[in-house]
Chains A and B, each alone.
Chain A
Amino acid sequence: EDQVTQSPEALRLQEGESSSLNCSYTVSGLRGLFWYRQDPGKGPEFLFTLYSAGEEKEKERLKATLTKKESFLHITAPKPEDSATYLCAARRGGGADGLTFGKGTHLIIQP
């Protein structure tokens, strides 16, 4: 069974304090590892897609990386507006579709 596990469940940081969020996955025939940001009461906002081990993508203070078993979302010098729930999701092969989501990391950046 496909599994996507995120850690930690919650993370509180001071403004400017860099850290990383983890997403480990067990998915047969991975066809994409996705990171989304979700604000309370809103739909997930797409951030990154990673397809192969060693791939990295950056956007402002965020950088996502991928290995064969896990992905990291690095947050450098975060600001309060980076506070949100960050969701990791995997898309598998074999003809199935949709995304399997992890439970998310609730990130709070304190001024």
Chain B
Amino acid sequence: DTEVTQTPKHLVMGMTNKKSLKCEQHMGHRAMYWYKQKAKKPPELMFVYSYEKLSINESVPSRFSPECPNSSLLNLHLHALQPEDSALYLCASSQEQGTSGELFFGEGSRLTVL
């Protein structure tokens, strides 16, 4: 069983809605990540948080807004999304940013934008 928990597993939203994806880990990891994965494509990095501070933003549109309330939680706030934003959103964590340790992924949140 994965130790990175993502909710909800599935989300359907309209282009005018505001919703949030949540991620939680209790492994004591200090780096957390958001990835986006389209069908039959590899995961693409969106954001990296290190010690609860945003350290990498891979030129993601502002309609995606990350938040890291504490070392165990990571949110992704969604607003005014487009249908092409439909994808599997993956959260991951690792011991620390900048080390060589592996990333552990959650099961993902499947987002459909109508």
User: Given known contacts A99-B45, A101-B42, is B104 in contact with A41 (CB within 8 Å)?
Assistant: no
Q: Are B42 and A87 in contact (CB under 8 A)?
A: yes
User: Chain A interface secondary structure, helix, strand, loop or mixed?
Assistant: loop
Kindly report which residue of chain A lies nearest to residue B31, judged by CB atoms.
Answer: A97
* Pair A97/B98 contact, Cβ less than 8 Å: yes
Number of interface residues of B (CB under 8 A): 30
User: A97-B55, A97-B97 are known contacts. Are A44 and B43 too (CB-CB below 8 A)?
Assistant: yes
Interface status of A104 (Cβ within 8 A of chain B): yes
**A-B interface contact total, Cβ < 8 Å:** 61
Q: Quick check: A41 and B110 within 8 Å, CB to CB?
A: yes
Residues of chain A touching chain B, judged by Cβ–Cβ distance below 8 Å, are: 31-32, 34, 36, 41-46, 49, 51, 87, 91, 95-99, 101-104
The 3 closest A-B pairs by CB, nearest first: A101-B42, A43-B105, A98-B45
A-B contact pairs, 24 of them (CB 8 A): A32-B100, A32-B102, A34-B102, A36-B105, A41-B88, A41-B108, A41-B110, A43-B92, A43-B105, A43-B106, A45-B2, A45-B105, A49-B100, A49-B102, A87-B42, A97-B31, A97-B50, A97-B56, A97-B98, A99-B43, A99-B45, A101-B42, A101-B44, A103-B41
